Structure 1
């Protein structure tokens, strides 16, 4: 069973979208042309594809979670440009093989690189990416590693209910083995550019709880019959930080773009 089982409804509604400024960086990373092909690894409910749907006309999204892909299909299909092609496939990044002759101009790996066999996936992509193509690894910071006072207080509530270690579904989370930057430098896509895109967000108690229940470290099933108690504890601690149910977060997307040394730019 997927570690995201039980989170899908929360994921689509409460996970923050990919900002336009991030989509602009990704769009500018590869040459224009048609067909312009995108491979989105770990597509989930389709947030990256949605942000780039007007910029690529041949899109493949892969994910090992069938429920996630069904949510992506329902959200994306009605909003695609008329001439765009979208294929969603249930597959892991490690086992995926694209259609014969198909190569991506851009590969996006958003908020999911830490779950992958990083070296294996990047080496496999060498055959799946066009000559001038690029691989983009990017993410914003989750609440677990945030440093705003109200976010730290929320994390303390999670730890009170589930223990000090960060959970990952039924197990515990083990962080990535190497920074994204180093993983790319050790791969065929070792000409790397780094871009930081600041993000300003405003949350409410409801959206914070929705976001938490979309994560593997606070998904509803982890709390069993204490879920309501947990939700009330989070609301109580948040009330200490705002009288208006408004919680400001300053975050950022860290984007690493990797290209082959011989790629033309």
Structure 2
């Protein structure tokens, strides 16, 4: 079952526009979750009689897709994103896996979101797991965590996770690629057409420590990825720092140079990324549950 979705208050048009054109490419080129991280999330839900997932900044639905693919028997999924196009991709990916699980697709900014509906037949239901995968940096963290405290079940967990990007990864080929992007777009890292990227004022751990979910554990999962040069170009098209519209009429010239650069750095046709997928798993302290 899928509930219809509609726009909710306080959407951010710039964010929606930023991801609208990248949805299909995102589904093709963005890496999924490592198996070890999926097992950790599954463990959080183990023993829950009717597990409910709230995935904020769901994008193409990678988190619920990974859990359903791993056989986690979710009862209900609420998938929230600022982009209708991303939600469409999530819907297409998740529908074949849903079975008896219900799905709500909510077109909303995570920090303005409130649940559209309770679980059918269970008026006091709420999420047992709230996830932000590679998305929390776009959100008003304080508002998100306050909302999470309002809606989450006792014993629920909030998970903030991700693994940086090819901009932040430190390897010979990523440094050369970053320098090429900077030659075209300037030294500052872009975050869409209208602004530069700004580092968060405080760490994710500090946000969690100041919230109701201040019982925090960190989990680090090493990940090795091999990229073909064309795959890197596809990935770049999905990013806020190297999206095609940032280059305007120079985009083809950039991609031609980037492809030559990547081929020059590839070994046996591959570019290796050694990443760390970081999971912050946070709960309310036991006395507050």
Find the counterpart in structure 2 of residue 14 from structure 1: 29
Q: How does 1:79-158 map to 2 (within 5 A)?
A: 79-80=97-98, 82-98=99-115, 99-100=117-118, 101-158=124-181
Runs of 4+ in 1 over 3 A off after TM superposition: none
Return the TM-score normalized by structure 1: 0.95
More strand by share: 1
Q: Indicate yes or no: 2:79 matched with 1:65.
A: no
Residue pairs, 1:49-64, within 5 angstroms: 49-53=64-68, 54-55=71-72, 56-64=74-82
Q: Determine which structure has greater relative contact order: mean sequence separation of CA pairs < 8 Å that are 6+ residues apart, divided by chain length.
A: 1
Q: Secondary structure at the match of 1:94?
A: helix
Equivalenced residues, count: 264
Task: Select 1:75's aligned residue among 93, 97, 100.
Answer: 93
Aligned equivalents of 1:187 and 1:162: distance in 2?
37
* Contact residue 7 and residue 220 of structure 1 kept, 8 A: no
CA deviations on 1:82-121 (whole Å, 9 max, x unpaired) are: 2111111101112211124331100000111111111121
**Aligned partners of 1:38 and 1:60 also within 8 Å:** yes
Q: What's the CA shift for 1:134?
A: 0.4
- Stretches of structure 2 that go unaligned for 5 or more consecutive residues are 1-12, 119-123
Render the CA deviation track for 1:146-192: whole Å, top value 9, x for unaligned.
10110111111111111111111112111222111111111000000
1:189 lines up with 2:213 in the alignment: yes
* Normalised TM-score (structure 2): 0.87
Structure having the higher helix fraction is 2
- CA RMSD after TM alignment: 1.6
How far did 1:243 drift? 4.9
Alignment of 1:220-239 (within 5 A): 220-239=244-263
Shift, 1:230, TM fit: 0.8
Q: 1:44 aligns with which of 40, 52, 59?
A: 59
Aligned to 2:283: 259
Q: Is the 8 A contact 2:45 2:51 kept in 1?
A: no
